[in-house]
Amino acid sequence: MKAIFGSQEVTEAVEEGFPTLEERASEAQRNAYKQFKKKDCRALCLMHQHFEKIAGSATSKEAWEILEKHYVGAAQLKKLRLQTMRRKYELMQMEEGLW
Protein backbone atom coordinates (compact mmCIF):
# COMPACT_ATOMS: atom_id res chain seq x y z
CA MET A 1 0.00 0.00 0.00
CA LYS A 2 2.84 2.39 0.75
CA ALA A 3 4.08 1.98 -2.82
CA ILE A 4 0.62 2.78 -4.16
CA PHE A 5 0.38 5.84 -1.92
CA GLY A 6 3.79 7.02 -3.11
CA SER A 7 2.88 6.61 -6.75
CA GLN A 8 -0.30 8.62 -6.23
CA GLU A 9 1.53 11.22 -4.08
CA VAL A 10 -0.85 10.80 -1.14
CA THR A 11 1.54 9.43 1.52
CA GLU A 12 1.54 12.70 3.46
CA ALA A 13 -2.25 12.74 3.69
CA VAL A 14 -2.31 9.19 5.03
CA GLU A 15 0.48 9.52 7.57
CA GLU A 16 -0.23 13.01 8.89
CA GLY A 17 -3.89 13.62 8.20
CA PHE A 18 -5.06 16.99 7.01
CA PRO A 19 -5.35 20.18 9.06
CA THR A 20 -8.63 21.89 9.77
CA LEU A 21 -9.48 25.04 7.90
CA GLU A 22 -9.76 28.18 10.02
CA GLU A 23 -12.73 30.50 9.64
CA ARG A 24 -10.57 33.42 8.55
CA ALA A 25 -8.40 31.46 6.13
CA SER A 26 -6.89 33.25 3.17
CA GLU A 27 -7.61 32.23 -0.39
CA ALA A 28 -4.21 30.51 -0.61
CA GLN A 29 -4.96 28.52 2.55
CA ARG A 30 -8.36 27.53 1.16
CA ASN A 31 -6.76 26.32 -2.08
CA ALA A 32 -4.09 24.36 -0.18
CA TYR A 33 -6.80 22.79 1.98
CA LYS A 34 -8.81 21.87 -1.09
CA GLN A 35 -5.78 20.21 -2.72
CA PHE A 36 -4.97 18.32 0.47
CA LYS A 37 -8.59 17.19 0.79
CA LYS A 38 -8.41 15.82 -2.77
CA LYS A 39 -5.30 13.82 -1.85
CA ASP A 40 -7.01 12.50 1.25
CA CYS A 41 -10.05 11.39 -0.76
CA ARG A 42 -7.80 9.75 -3.36
CA ALA A 43 -5.94 7.82 -0.65
CA LEU A 44 -9.17 6.76 1.01
CA CYS A 45 -10.53 5.58 -2.33
CA LEU A 46 -7.40 3.50 -2.93
CA MET A 47 -7.76 1.86 0.46
CA HIS A 48 -11.48 1.19 -0.01
CA GLN A 49 -10.71 -0.63 -3.24
CA HIS A 50 -8.59 -3.13 -1.34
CA PHE A 51 -10.08 -3.42 2.13
CA GLU A 52 -13.58 -3.90 3.51
CA LYS A 53 -12.60 -3.27 7.15
CA ILE A 54 -12.30 0.47 6.58
CA ALA A 55 -15.68 1.04 4.95
CA GLY A 56 -16.80 3.39 7.74
CA SER A 57 -13.66 5.54 7.71
CA ALA A 58 -14.06 9.24 7.06
CA THR A 59 -10.41 10.04 6.30
CA SER A 60 -7.41 8.17 4.94
CA LYS A 61 -5.55 8.61 8.23
CA GLU A 62 -8.38 6.95 10.17
CA ALA A 63 -8.50 4.09 7.65
CA TRP A 64 -4.73 3.62 7.82
CA GLU A 65 -4.80 3.41 11.62
CA ILE A 66 -7.53 0.74 11.43
CA LEU A 67 -5.45 -1.27 8.95
CA GLU A 68 -2.32 -0.97 11.07
CA LYS A 69 -4.15 -2.29 14.15
CA HIS A 70 -5.73 -5.11 12.16
CA TYR A 71 -2.54 -6.33 10.53
CA VAL A 72 -0.45 -6.20 13.70
CA GLY A 73 -2.74 -8.88 15.12
CA ALA A 74 -2.70 -10.78 11.83
CA ALA A 75 1.10 -10.92 11.83
CA GLN A 76 1.12 -12.34 15.36
CA LEU A 77 -1.52 -14.91 14.43
CA LYS A 78 0.45 -15.93 11.35
CA LYS A 79 3.57 -16.45 13.47
CA LEU A 80 1.63 -18.59 15.94
CA ARG A 81 0.16 -20.72 13.14
CA LEU A 82 3.61 -21.27 11.63
CA GLN A 83 4.96 -22.37 15.01
CA THR A 84 2.05 -24.80 15.41
CA MET A 85 2.61 -26.24 11.94
CA ARG A 86 6.34 -26.64 12.60
CA ARG A 87 5.62 -28.50 15.82
CA LYS A 88 3.14 -30.84 14.08
CA TYR A 89 5.74 -31.55 11.40
CA GLU A 90 8.37 -32.33 14.02
CA LEU A 91 5.96 -34.70 15.78
CA MET A 92 5.23 -36.47 12.47
CA GLN A 93 8.95 -36.98 11.89
CA MET A 94 9.39 -38.42 15.38
CA GLU A 95 6.46 -40.78 14.79
CA GLU A 96 7.89 -42.02 11.50
CA GLY A 97 11.26 -42.61 13.18
CA LEU A 98 9.70 -45.12 15.60
CA TRP A 99 8.40 -47.39 12.84
Number of structural domains found in the chain? 1
Domain span at residue 73?
2-98
- As a whole number of angstroms, the distance between CA 46 and CA 93 comes to 46
Q: What pLDDT sits at residue 50?
A: 66
Residues 6 or more apart from 90 whose CB is under 8 A from it? Answer: none
pLDDT in tens, 49-96: 767 777 778 888 888 888 787 777 667 777 888 888 888 888 887 777
Amino acid identity of residue 82, one-letter, is L
Least confident of 16-20, 27-31, 61-65: 16-20
